[in-house]
Structures are given as structure tokens and as C-alpha cells.
Chains A and B, each alone.
Chain A
């Protein structure tokens, strides 16, 4: 065991910080206040990601043959930390880089790789994730959206819900049932579905999290070419499981929580609040939870860096990350008091993003189920 960054990794972080200092505009705080899914941030990401790509950083952890630099999982983690710390200027494109691209590399045809991977690695495309349905949330395999084969197309009918970023996305990583007689894990396929096909309708679901955060997507006789299917027909669950492992700790949200806590402490110190022992204790406890989340995510990155198959360490890290976000956001509200109630305030912005942490990318209960069975070896029944 050793817990130091290499000189190359340190240098990379410094270069990245200098790059962000130069590239982020003065009004970046205003652009970023509503999170990666907002119109402002999506628009910014379309300019920012190509610049990141020009430096070779956007998909640096990908193999060179797909537009990457074969950088280590650690360098990619540094990129994620620095991006999330400042509010994620990549917008939704972090998903492309973290798990959509790698899943296409793993399961895609040569034609799919040739089409999609350059778009992602050049920062020219936004994706969304079509997983949840009204009757298939945590129980994802209950999904019903049907894709029936008709010649060279699938005809897709059904709906997806809670689909973040789809309002800006050109593609949707879409889970469908291709065998109408099938149940549960069998009979599911993945479609790399363009979002501009006739018959697709996107509606925003207003929420307290923020504008343009959740959407519902309706598919009415949408013809998706069979060539858009990722992986074997009816055996898409393996593809999904692969993607989910990368997704769950894909976003370095713990880094944002830790940075927000630093900022909160700075503001609390200005108001003389850190002289209060009970407040100091709450800061210490929140800091410890953030640091624990960081180390647990690092453990997952270390396993990835060694080329190990995904383990339940991912679920452990995800639960810890949620604890960190919630600890910081609750403290922020309490420190700022009624000032936190103003929309767009520091505490409000952090709270709105953090309040989804226990639900987004797999409910905490699902992660705890997996920790219990795979990490602790507890019996199912």
C-alpha cells in the first residue's frame, strides 16, 4: 500500500487547475448554479469539452485507438475530481466519457465504435440514459418499453422517466425489451438511439431539484435501425450491469461535497461560528464522512487501475458518497439558516444537487442490498 500521487499525477492536476482557471469565465458560478443538466451548462459544455479534447484530456483514460491517451484510472479520477469540484463544466458529457464510451468499446460493432467514439472523444455529442420507467425504478428489470423487430428496424413503444439531460442529448442509451414474452433479466437489449427520430416526445417534469432536471420520454412507433443495437439481442442485461458498475462512482460528487464544506467553513469562520464547539464538531464529522467517501472511491479506482473486475466496493463507495453529500448539504442549510432559503444561494444550490444523491444512479437501498450480499456474504432468503 502507498497513498501518494506520482509526480506525473501531481503535474497533471496542476496543469488542469491552470487550464480551468484560464477557461472558466468570470460568470461561471452563475452558469453552474443549476447543475450539469441546465441549459446554460449544456451550452457551455459544447464549447468547453472540445477544448478539453484538444488538450487530450477529455477521454485521456481511453485506449489510444479510440481517441484516448491510455492514461491511468488515477489520472481520470483526478480529472473527475477537478471537474466536479468546480461544478462540472463538462455538463452531461462526463457520462459519455465515464461509462457510455467504455461500454460501446466493450460491446459495440466496429461501425458503432467508428461512429460514436470519435464524437465522444472530440466532445461533440451529448448523451442521456434511458433506464427508468414508470413501473421500473429500482426494479429495473421490470422494464416494459418494447422494441419489436420489423425488417431492419425495431419499432419502439413505451416510455422512460427521470431521464436527465435528454433535452440536450443527441443520443439515448436506451434499455428495451426485445422479446415480448420474456421476463426479468432475459429479453432485454440496449439501443444506441438517436433522440431526433420521429415518434419521440420529450416532456419536462417540473421538480424542486431545479429546472430541466427530470424528463419523461415517450416512444410512439419509433423506428430504430437494428444496427443501433449494442451487444446481442435479448442479452443486454450484461451490458447494463457492466455500464452500471462504471456509472455508480463515475461522478466525483464527493469532491464537490468536500469543496463545498471548505467554502462553508470559510464563511462560517467569517461569521465567528467556528469558535462554537458544537459547530466545530459538526464540521469535523462532515469532513470525516467526505474523506471516508474519497478513500472508498479511491479503492474502486485502484481496483479498476489493476484491471480487476467490478466488486461490491463500488456499492460501498456509492453509499459513502451519498452520506457525504447529505452531511454537507444539511450542514450548509443549518449554518446559513433562513438565508439558505433563497433560490440559487450557495446552500440552496448544494442542497438541491445533494438531495438526489440517495436516489440517483441506484437507490441507496439497492446499493445496501448489494453490499449485504456481495460484500458481507449475507443470504438472500
Chain B
């Protein structure tokens, strides 16, 4: 057991952090949001620097990929990082053309990056399928939840099957990606809120000095930190069904708390588009509702431990 970043992991995070500082951030996300645009420039920059291939690189793997996905989420990147950097390489054994959307077969709910996706990864029971999308397959959906959303209408059974067993594997990696993105997003939402409550003064003192505020933010930190370590552990072990579902279940429950408390403590200012919080906070609910939602993650965690199927 070793909970410290290795020198290689530190170097990866430093390099991706420098790149994200240049290409991403809440201002960029807020700039792209009104038209539901995708950040192709960010995606290209990560691609050029080799980060989208990190899951299968020598001396790296799923844990490093999860760390990069978390970092992109923390920087509010508007690209399908979880699907491109973590899910597709681990499930398909290769990188797929992005943007990539993830969907359950037979479902026509709005999915993240659906309107921009060139590739759709479909979880269809026991198998996963890769579908190359045509422009006619996708339709943008207006959404307030921080990601460009869209409906994807691929023909039933279309695309390349990855064979029996690939369906559960896709769902596990997808859950891990949700957890990693939630951890990065929660971390940033909490940071911006902590900064606010340290500076905002009422009744002659910083509102962050009131115990009623402190305890609730401290509880958020406990939930977020637990989610973070569960995510890293599940990534290290290759997204086992139980570990991935447990990390996702905890992370999306943490996300609900972090959403509520960060908005509570930033007051009316936190609801405005001039404050950065919404760029992260609204995404937390999108993550919480994905892949059968929070209830689905909890059921998957319980089934994989005690019933024997995910």
C-alpha cells in the first residue's frame, strides 16, 4: 500500500495541469456553454501531448488515466475525458475517435456530449458495442447541467460488438469514470466555495468562521475524500465490478451533498453566471443521474458484493 503519488504520477499531473491551465478552466467552459460547444482545441492539445493514450501507455495505466480524467474535470474541461481517456481504451483496447458518448441500449435519454459524438459506446446487456455515428444520428438537447447534451439515435444492434462480457466491463469502467469526474468536479466546487466563505464577511466576520458552515463543509470534505480514495483504489485494481460501483455510489452521493452545500454557502452569488461555481456544481447532478443514476450505482455495488452480478 502506498497512498503517495509516485514520481511518474506527479510528473503526469504536473504536465497535464500546465496544459489545462492554458486550455481549460471555468472561464473557457462558461464561454462555450451558451451554444453548447465542444472544446476541440482542448481535446487536440491533450491528444498531442499523449494524455488521451495514457491508459495504455508504458509505465502508466488505468490509475494514471483516472488521475488525468479527474484533473480535466477539476479544470472544467468541455470534452468527453472519461469516455476517451479511461473507458474506451480500457474496454476496447484502443483509443476511439472522439468525442465519445456513452449510452445504455434502448435508452434515448440525453447523454453527455451526445450532440458532438463521433463514436458511441453502447452497453447492451452482456455485450458492449462501438457505433460510428453519422450527423443524422445525433440531436442537441438544451441543458442547464454544465455539459453539452444530446440524444443519440443509433440503430438497434448497430456497430461492432466487443463480445460477451464486454457489457459488464463497459459499465464498470463507465462507473469508474463517473466517480473520477465527480471527484475532480467536487474538489473544484468545494475549493471555490471555501475561497468564498473565507472572504465573504457578514455580522463582522468571515462566514466560513461560523461552526454551522464549517461542519457542513467539513462533512463534504469527508465524503469527497472517501470518494477520491475509493476511485483510485478501483482504478488501480482495473475497475472490478464491486470496487467501481462502490466508488461511483459513494461519489454520486457525495456529489449531491457538495451541490447542496456549495450553493447554500455561496448564497445568491453562487447562482449567477458571473460566479464560477455553477460551471462545476451543475455538472454534479448530470453525473449523479448517469447510468441508472445514484440508485443504480448503489444497487450495482450491493449486487456485485452479495448477489453476484453487476
Q: How far is the CA of A299 from the CA of B213 in the complex (A)?
A: 26
Q: How large is the interface on A (under 10, 10 to 19, 20 to 34, 35 or more residues)?
A: 35 or more
**Which listed residue (A292, A369, A378) contacts B226, Cβ 8 A?**
A292
**Which listed residue (B9, B198, B298) contacts A288, Cβ 8 A?**
B298
Q: How far is the CA of A375 from the CA of B224 in the complex (A)?
A: 12
Check A277/B226 contact, CB under 8 A, given A2-B236, A284-B301.
Answer: no
Pick from B21-29, B152-160, B245-253 the stretch touching chain A: B245-253
Please, which residues of chain A bring their CB within 8 A of the CB of B300? 284
Task: Tell me whether B303 and A379 are in contact (CB under 8 A).
Answer: no
User: Interface residue count for B (Cβ, 8 Å)?
Assistant: 51
A1-34 contacts to B (CB < 8 Å): 1-5
* Residue from A74, A288, A305, A319 whose CB has the most chain B CB atoms within 10 Å: A288
* Residue from A306, A365, A371 whose CB has the most chain B CB atoms within 10 Å: A371
B204-220 contacts to A (CB < 8 Å): 205-206, 208-209, 211, 213-215, 217-219
Pick from B34-42, B71-79, B227-235, B283-291 the stretch touching chain A: B227-235
Q: How far is the CA of A45 from the CA of B209 in the complex (A)?
A: 46
Which B residues are within 8 Å of any A CB, using their own CB?
1-6, 9, 63, 194, 197-198, 205-206, 208-209, 211, 213-215, 217-219, 221-223, 225-227, 229-230, 232-233, 236-237, 245-247, 249-250, 253, 295, 297-303, 305-307
Distance from B234 Cβ to chain A, minimum over Cβ atoms (Å) = 9
Please, which residues of chain A bring their CB within 8 A of the CB of B221? 316, 371, 375-376
Distance from B216 Cβ to chain A, minimum over Cβ atoms (Å) = 9
Check A287/B218 contact, CB under 8 A, given A3-B232, A281-B295, A302-B1.
Answer: no
A210-265 contacts to B (CB < 8 Å): 262, 265
Please, which residues of chain A bring their CB within 8 A of the CB of B208? 378-379
Check A368/B219 contact, CB under 8 A, given A1-B9, A74-B1, A291-B250.
Answer: yes
Please, which residues of chain A bring their CB within 8 A of the CB of B306? 262, 265-266, 269, 274, 283
Task: Tell me whether A285 and B4 are in contact (CB under 8 A).
Answer: no
Task: Tell me whether A1 and B209 are in contact (CB under 8 A).
Answer: no
Closest B residue to A269 using CB positions: B306
Closest B residue to A299 using CB positions: B3
Please, which residues of chain A bring their CB within 8 A of the CB of B213? 378
Q: Is A193 an interface residue (CB 8 A)?
A: no
**Which listed residue (A2, A74, A288) contacts B250, Cβ 8 A?**
A288
Please, which residues of chain A bring their CB within 8 A of the CB of B206? 379
Task: Tell me whether B229 and A288 are in contact (CB under 8 A).
Answer: no
Task: Tell me whether A365 and B226 are in contact (CB under 8 A).
Answer: no
Check A291/B298 contact, CB under 8 A, given A1-B4, A299-B3, A375-B221.
Answer: no
17 A-B contacts (beta carbon < 8 Å): A1-B5, A3-B236, A265-B302, A280-B302, A282-B298, A283-B302, A284-B246, A285-B253, A288-B247, A291-B250, A299-B3, A316-B221, A319-B218, A372-B211, A373-B214, A378-B217, A380-B209
Task: Tell me whether B226 and A296 are in contact (CB under 8 A).
Answer: yes
Please, which residues of chain B bring their CB within 8 A of the CB of A280? 298-299, 302-303, 307
Task: Tell me whether A277 and B295 are in contact (CB under 8 A).
Answer: yes
Check A295/B233 contact, CB under 8 A, given A274-B306, A375-B221, A378-B217.
Answer: yes
Task: Tell me whether A295 and B218 are in contact (CB under 8 A).
Answer: no
Task: Tell me whether B301 and A274 are in contact (CB under 8 A).
Answer: no
Task: Tell me whether A376 and B209 are in contact (CB under 8 A).
Answer: no
Task: Give a binary string over A347-375; 1 marks a CB under 8 Å from any B CB, 0 the rest.
Answer: 00000000000000000010011011101
A289-323 contacts to B (CB < 8 Å): 289, 291-293, 295-296, 298-299, 301-303, 305-306, 316, 319-320, 323
Q: Is A337 an interface residue (CB 8 A)?
A: no
**Which listed residue (B6, B9, B233) contacts A3, Cβ 8 A?**
B233
Q: Is A377 an interface residue (CB 8 A)?
A: yes
* Residue from A1, A283, A293, A381 whose CB has the most chain B CB atoms within 10 Å: A1
Task: Tell me whether A277 and B217 are in contact (CB under 8 A).
Answer: no
**Which listed residue (A284, A285, A371, A378) contacts B194, Cβ 8 A?**
A378
Q: How far is the CA of A289 from the CA of B246 in the complex (A)?
A: 9
Closest B residue to A283 using CB positions: B302
**Which listed residue (B63, B197, B223, B249) contacts A1, Cβ 8 A?**
B63
Closest A residue to B296 using CB positions: A281
Task: Tell me whether A320 and B250 are in contact (CB under 8 A).
Answer: no
Distance from A325 Cβ to chain B, minimum over Cβ atoms (Å) = 14
Please, which residues of chain B bring their CB within 8 A of the CB of A372? 211, 214-215, 217-218
Task: Tell me whether B3 and A302 are in contact (CB under 8 A).
Answer: yes
Task: Tell me whether A274 and B222 are in contact (CB under 8 A).
Answer: no
Distance from B210 Cβ to chain A, minimum over Cβ atoms (Å) = 9
Task: Tell me whether B226 and A295 are in contact (CB under 8 A).
Answer: yes
Task: Tell me whether B302 and A316 are in contact (CB under 8 A).
Answer: no
Q: How far is the CA of A280 from the CA of B299 in the complex (A)?
A: 6
Please, which residues of chain A bring their CB within 8 A of the CB of B298? 280-285, 288
Closest B residue to A74 using CB positions: B1
Q: How far is the CA of A375 from the CA of B215 in the complex (A)?
A: 12
Please, which residues of chain B bring their CB within 8 A of the CB of A323? 222
Closest A residue to B299 using CB positions: A280
Q: A1-B5, A379-B208 are in contact. List 18 more A-B contacts (CB 8 A).
A: A4-B1, A262-B305, A265-B305, A266-B306, A274-B302, A277-B295, A284-B245, A284-B246, A284-B301, A298-B3, A299-B3, A316-B221, A316-B222, A320-B222, A323-B222, A369-B211, A376-B218, A378-B214
